[in-house]
A and B are shown apart, each in its own frame.
Chain A
Amino acid sequence: MTNRIVLHIDMNAFFASIEQATNPSLRRRPVIVCGNPETRTVVSAASYEAKPFGVKAGMSIGEARRLCPQAVFVIGNLAKYVDTSRRIFSILKTFSQKTEIFSIDEAFLEITDHCSSYAAAPRIGRAIKQAVLEKMGLTCSVGIGPNKLIAKLASDMQKPDGLVLIEPEKVAGVLENLPIGELCGIGRRMERHLHALGIYTCGELGRYPVAILRQKFGIMGELYHYMGLGRDDTPVSFSGDEEPVKSMGHCHTLARDTSDPEEVKRNILALSEQVAVRLRQDGYSGRTICLVLRYSDFFTFSRHFTVDYFIDSGYDIYQQALRILARVDWQGKAIRLIGISVSNLVRHSQQLYILDEFNRRQKVDRVMDKINQKYGEFKIMRAAIMRQDRKPVQPILARGLWAKTFTKNDNI
């Protein structure tokens, strides 16, 4: 594929910017979006005023407060962000139908068909920035390149409110001394592996013998080789051929570390119910249940278990998660974070039950869904969840956090 022109749009400090856009008193002040800061959650987003202090997403609130005591802590409102995100994507789609939603605040646009040359591309980039700013009051960084990999790299190079073009002939020069960790797709773990081979820059990665990379990392090795050369053939997959959802999950950092089995179970139940609500909302049910635990020393791992039927009930998910928990030797260790996810999903394929007790549970779920849809999340809930010392978990999308916890996936 030659002469592609791909744009990457990255909303700047998305959650924090939305809060600033909707609340004038927050503008030009360091804003940190998080869960309820009275308890313990992590930073979901920090405004550009807070970033110079070193505040980063994923950081604990305590640490953020230490780094930037004057910051305003705002409890995140996921519904607001999702809604804003949806509106931004519909703006982007007016520029190109080939728009791939990459995450809540990132998108790729293929403009190959709309643009005659690289020289004309920045004009489209500027028009997009203008439209998003006018309609939503938000700034974004736009990267332009011959593929997704380079476009993403370009948008990262100027933040906030940037516009960077990397033309095909300049790719090699840009990559030559670029640390490999800057590339989207090379995580910290892979970075370590590559460092061990003496590969520190993308230039070195591209020149490294592909045979050895393949031998060490399998099919991914070849991919890394091409990444080092700045080549990426993955298409911008626009709506209509979106990849089917592979898993749904929630994780939650506890208000305080606990080794109390009852409290852990209550949290698992709350998370299970949340995941189940999402599954049912989108018509999914799944067969594989995954439990993620993070100890107070930040050691994080996950275990999963597959049953031979599809479930979408919170109680069923909870029961399977408990089964997994029973096989984990965590006694005496303090747990900091718990995550539940369901994968191996199918859509609209719902098994009916012959036994009344099973059907009753299904009916209760549906009725609870209806009530919560009408009056708001967790207006009706299991009494067991209510006994917690906190309000039911407000889901905050800490981007990437979920994916990271899934790197060590052992079956039990």
Chain B
Amino acid sequence: MKIVCSQADLLKGVQSVQAIISSRASLPVLSNILLETQKDKLKLAATDLEVGIKTEIPTEILKEGSITIPAKILFDIVRELPNQDIQLEVTNEYKIILSCGKIIFKIMGLPKDEFPIIPDFKEDNAFTISAGLLKEMIQKTIFAISNDETRYILTGVLVQTSNGNMEMIATDGRRLSYINGGKLDKQGKNKLDVIVPSKALREASRLIGEKETGDKDLVKIELTENQIALKLDSTVLVSRLVEGKFPNYKQVIPKDHSTSVTLDTEKLLNAVKRVSLLSPEKAESVKLQFIKEKLIISSMAQGLGEAQEELEIDYKGANLETAYNPKYLMDVLKVIKAGQIEVELSNAMSPGVIKPKSGEEYLYVIMPMRL
């Protein structure tokens, strides 16, 4: 293989794929990035066997071929090179000669044969969704997943289509995040009903962020039997799916409530943050007392002390007292952009619901702690 490409293009390509590589790769070749000529492009790919990413960059191809190069070394070198053309040449012994002006690096690579195949993206069956919306949906759900490997099913986000709308749901058993992204721009052939590992979604979110995509950019989503593939521009992310049946989340979302109160998102976030400062390690619980025109937020840390903050609110209902894990409250308040939220409550033992007052279809169910 012999190619010439710009430093900027190569850096962008390497950056896109290298984040997926695990520092504890189980096979040597998994620490490498695959470089392969494809028509007039250079294909770059990396995988940790769970998620794979591939992308292409414009290249002048002098001789076709392929090679895998240790990702970290390649990234470090390309990053430090001046923004000029880089020539990459692979010898018969899988040695890579990388030259840029008067700079020459010789690196040992590995042949392509051992590199896992990342399936190609098939456009025909794909759904499409705006990149900005997808990123927002990920942000608003991913924090609620379980990081408990022993509850494997809950370590991913449920992505499904219903009536042409795309919905994402995440729960760790103690709280649940639900978002409806609205009608998909293009419906795929299959109905979407899959659990996507959090890593894939985090990577997708990163890729969208890196591309600085506008609202108009589209992400294509394609589904195969046990894999999901996302395509943004020329970058494709493929991930295996979490196998199993997601719990019936609809049952969990309260149908009614006895009290509803409007609160200022930022004021509540800051108050919870402050009041929980006493025991950030233990994060036992913060108590929310709704009394006439007042919300008293307080916490007590055994052997440390206590904290309290009062917010003026528009509340005329009966006195109500609940307690929550402060992290669970802050997690959702951080991702809600709307200035105000609606909190729906019934009693101290039943789930509360938090919704932004913005018309978007987003809701968060939070289970209290026993007082």
Chain A residues with a Cβ under 8 A of chain B = 244, 287, 307-309, 316, 319-320, 322-323, 344, 346-358
Contacts and interface: CB of A to CB of B under 8 A. Distances in A.
A352 B149 CA distance: 20
B284 A352 contact: no
Interface stretch (B76-84, B96-104, B114-122, B169-177): B169-177
B23 interface: no
Given A319-B150, A353-B174, A355-B171, A346 B302 contact: yes
Interface of B: 147-150, 171-176, 247, 251-252, 281-282, 284-285, 302-303, 323, 325, 327, 349, 351, 365, 367-370
B325 A352 contact: no
A346 to B, nearest CB: 5
B173 A354 contact: yes
Contacts of A350: 369-370
Contacts of A322: 150
B142 to A, nearest CB: 15
Contact of B325 (A316, A319, A351): A351
Contact of A351 (B147, B176, B365, B367): B367
A358 B370 contact: no
A338 to B, nearest CB: 19
Contacts of A355: 171, 173, 247, 252
Say whether chain A's binding surface is mostly helix, strand, loop, or mixed.
mixed
A287 B281 CA distance: 10
30 contacts: A244-B303, A307-B148, A308-B327, A309-B174, A316-B150, A320-B150, A323-B149, A346-B282, A347-B302, A348-B370, A349-B284, A349-B323, A349-B369, A349-B370, A350-B369, A350-B370, A351-B325, A351-B370, A352-B174, A352-B349, A352-B367, A353-B173, A354-B171, A354-B176, A354-B252, A354-B351, A354-B367, A355-B173, A355-B247, A356-B247
Contacts of B285: 349
B369 A351 contact: yes
Nearest to B348: A352
Contacts of B282: 287, 344, 346
Considering residues B150, B175, B351, B365, which has the most beta carbons from chain A within 10 angstroms of its beta carbon?
Answer: B150
Contact of A358 (B173, B281, B351): B173
A354 B284 contact: no
Contacts of B174: 309, 351-354
B248 to A, nearest CB: 8
Given A308-B327, A323-B150, A353 B370 contact: no
B365 A354 contact: yes
Contacts of B302: 244, 346-347
A307 B172 CA distance: 12
Contacts of A344: 281-282
Contacts of B365: 354
Contacts of B175: 354
B102 to A, nearest CB: 48
A69 B194 CA distance: 67
A349 B370 CA distance: 6
Kindly list the 10 A-B residue pairs having the minimum CB-CB distance in the complex, ordered from nearest: A319-B150, A350-B370, A355-B173, A358-B173, A352-B367, A354-B252, A349-B284, A354-B367, A346-B284, A351-B369
